[in-house]
Structure 1
Amino acid sequence: MAANERMSAVTEAPSTSSSVERGEEAGAASTTTGGGYSAIGGLGSWPGAGLSGGGMRPPSFAPVQSLAPGSPLTLAALAPVPQARPVPLVQPPYSFVIPRKRITSPADIERFHQSEAGKMLLGFIVGLSDSVKGMKLSDYCKESTLIIAIVGILKRMSEWVDEIPPKQQPARYGNLSFRDWQSRLEIHGPNLVRQILPEALAEAVLELFPYFQDSFGNAIRIDFGTGHEVNFAAWLLCLARLGLIKQEDYQAVVLRVFVEYLDLMRKLQTTYWLEPAGSHGVWGLDDYHFLPFIFGSAQLVDHKYMKPKSIHNQDILEHYSKEYLYLGCVQFVKKVKKGPLAEHSPMIDDISGVPTWTKVNGGMLKMFRAEVLEKVPIMQHFLFGSLIPW
């Protein structure tokens, strides 16, 4: 079935999940009887049995009318696009605690999304996305002392990769030197986080560092996935709750901080060949990341010349991948995977048929909620404390 036919509205049965043994998203891998939730705001066509090249096989199709009324998949597809929300500040006296896991069931997920904390996290991410609409990575944005300090920390952590070369070992994936890198993070990370805090908030390290530490993958499994990326967003949200990141900083958070984080993670992924955690991303969107597709599609909203289908133009990718996160993601995927885009990344290929970047961005936000923030296998590792309360 052609991509434009699959995107046209109507042809999916809900996916079912089967458990997998490894990964922070263990249990999230799809073994579908049909399609899944679509990035264009409807019912998608991307999940299915894995291909050897890292992509997913096209699913079988059933009329959308066959979906049970009120099924989660239908409700997700019909859900409104998430909206930005202001981040409420935490007022002193502070009571910082070591954050811990709370989510263990679908009921806990429902409770989280009905809570102010759940709405705050998603609203913060939408706010970051909205702040960079129409902006290139090289565009001017206000860079506070804090933003500059965070970028400096991430650059220093990137230097650690150069200082800790990968070990010679038979297996390509899961290089054991990543555990040495993580050990250095465990030792020096708290002090790095403390450096960016004013003296009055020095005790916040107790609560902030666990989010930061879990933003760069898992040392035991030597893997990385969307759950780790969510922890980095949560760490930034905690800084916003403390008034250290303000709304006027949002552009720099994306265009400077998140870009540096993404560069570091790609360096870690390709140096130590981290395993994609559990489900290999969300059905072929990317093995590791989701947020750069949200922020990157926002950058391209209302672009005069580049449309979603422009990702198939290699000249555009080569000339503009360093200015637009979405194009950079596609370029990176094409470098690390072999074969046609439609085979190893069918979701990205299908999304290229959507007419506008506005629809892509809105669909990405809905899919992020449905396929990341509403999945127990991913969110069971999410942490709650005083800044993101349970």
Structure 2
Amino acid sequence: MSLNVETHEFMIPEKGVKQPTDIAEKWEKSEAYRDLLGFIGAMNNAVKNKKMRDEYHVSEMMEKLVSIMDAMSQWIDEIPPIDQPQRFGNKAYRDWFKRLQENANGLVRDALGEKYARAVDEVSVYLIESVGNSTRIDYGTGHELAFVAFMCCLYKIGALTESDAVATVFRLFARYLEVMRKLQLVYMLEPAGSQGVWCLDDYQFIPFIWGSSQLLDHPRLKPKSFPNPEICESFSKDYIFLGCIQHINKVKTGPFAEHSNQLWNISAVQLWSKVNSGLIKMYKAEVLSKFPAIQHFLFGSLLTLKPAT
């Protein structure tokens, strides 16, 4: 349900999970946790059995939001990596990040228009949080969660509606993924809090959830087929999950079973429906209940730590 933007009291989001016990006692009982999980589930349902090249509704608002991602991508071209001795964590990323910090409010204000102007200061914080950390020059699933929060807030204020659901995943989130991959490769961002080969992927998690929903009833593509590079090459433009695997194959070397052990295990699951429900459970356990990720999450008036009723 969207709220009244003219009367709602917005606030700048701030940290609320201060110690590990807050995860079970506050966070997992909060409105924010319920709303974010609900949003992930709603988008999961929206793209069920749909291909990215299918026809779907794209609103004017959606086009404007995607143009924010385009601007961020353009800045990467304008701020090249610098020569430095260490391979990871190119310091030019800090200049790029500073540009986003300085321009995020303006970008979001231009996209949302006058009607939603009062929400801009709160919503744009999640955009800044979604691209990585400029001190550590890293990026991970906590930052990805901030982008989920950004999109969720756009629904809460009414800027996006139910008819935008498919485009939210196939246009806005897919474009965000492209920009994040570009950032990772150009500035060699460290994976934030990566569990190495035991994690699903060094950087992302959500695209595997929504991507597996696209494949639920696919007549030919089964989970066992995704480690095959030729399958990914043929179908990556239609299926987010396969696009993720294709990206991993490009940036990692050696046997798939070694560099992506968790994904290799998932390929042994018989049904996409089991993969999809299993990934949602894994996301709750490996991302949403982990203090190192959630301690950085910011709570405002739209995503609050108040207990869910």
Normalising TM by the smaller chain, what interval?
over 0.9
List structure 1 runs of 4+ shifted beyond 3 angstroms. Answer: none
SS of equivalent to 1:354: coil
CA contact 2:126–2:147 (8 Å) conserved in 1:
yes
Deviation readout 1:85-121 (Å, 9 max, x if unpaired): xxx3223511111110000234322222222321111
Aligned to 2:10: 96
Distance 1:381 1:120 in 2: 18
Larger radius of gyration: 1
CA contact 2:227–2:245 (8 Å) conserved in 1:
no
Deviation readout 1:367-386 (Å, 9 max, x if unpaired): 11111111111000111111
Deviation readout 1:204-239 (Å, 9 max, x if unpaired): 122112111011011111100000000000011111
Partner AA of 1:105 in structure 2: Q
Distance 1:303 1:97 in 2: 44
1:330 shift after superposition: 1.0
Distance 2:126 2:203 in 1: 18
Partner AA of 2:207 in structure 1: P
Q: 1:203 aligns with which of 110, 118, 121?
A: 118
Aligned to 1:108: 22
Distance 1:272 1:137 in 2: 28
Aligned to 1:355: 270
CA contact 1:225–1:276 (8 Å) conserved in 2:
yes
Structure having greater relative contact order (Cα 8 Å, sep ≥ 6)? 2
Q: 1:384 aligns with which of 278, 281, 299?
A: 299
Whether 1:186 aligns to 2:97 is no
Q: TM (normalized to structure 2)?
A: 0.95
Cα distance change on mapping 1:281 and 1:259 into 2, 3 Å = farther
SS of equivalent to 1:136: coil
Whether 1:329 aligns to 2:244 is yes
Partner AA of 1:151 in structure 2: V
CA contact 1:281–1:288 (8 Å) conserved in 2:
no
Distance 1:322 1:275 in 2: 27
**Equivalent residues in 2 for 1:56-205, closer than 5 Å:** 88-91=1-4, 92-110=6-24, 111-205=26-120
SS of equivalent to 2:217: coil
Aligned to 1:82: none
Distance 2:197 2:21 in 1: 22
Partner AA of 1:258 in structure 2: F
Q: TM (normalized to structure 1)?
A: 0.76
Distance 2:251 2:50 in 1: 27
1:325 shift after superposition: 0.9
Name the % identity.
49
1:283 shift after superposition: 2.5
1:199 shift after superposition: 1.4
1:130 shift after superposition: 1.1
Aligned to 1:319: 234
Q: 1:371 aligns with which of 258, 261, 286?
A: 286
1:315 shift after superposition: 1.8
Distance 1:190 1:267 in 2: 22
CA contact 1:90–1:387 (8 Å) conserved in 2:
no
Deviation readout 1:3-31 (Å, 9 max, x if unpaired): xxxxxxxxxxxxxxxxxxxxxxxxxxxxx
1:137 shift after superposition: 1.1
Distance 2:101 2:227 in 1: 42
Distance 2:197 2:149 in 1: 20
Deviation readout 1:169-195 (Å, 9 max, x if unpaired): 121110011011011101111100111
Distance 1:354 1:324 in 2: 18
Structure 1 stretch displaced more, 254-263 or 309-318: 309-318
Q: In angstroms, what is the RMSD of aligned CA positions?
A: 1.3
CA contact 1:142–1:249 (8 Å) conserved in 2:
yes
SS of equivalent to 1:166: coil
CA contact 2:197–2:258 (8 Å) conserved in 1:
no
| Number of residues of Structure 1 aligned to a counterpart in Structure 2 | 303
Distance 2:148 2:286 in 1: 16
Aligned to 2:181: 266
Aligned to 2:213: 298
**Equivalent residues in 2 for 1:241-252, closer than 5 Å:** 241-252=156-167
Distance 2:277 2:101 in 1: 37
Partner AA of 2:11 in structure 1: V
Deviation readout 1:98-151 (Å, 9 max, x if unpaired): 110000234322222222321111010111111101111111111111110011
1:290 shift after superposition: 0.3
CA contact 2:194–2:203 (8 Å) conserved in 1:
no
Unpaired runs of at least 5, structure 1: 1-87
1:280 shift after superposition: 4.3
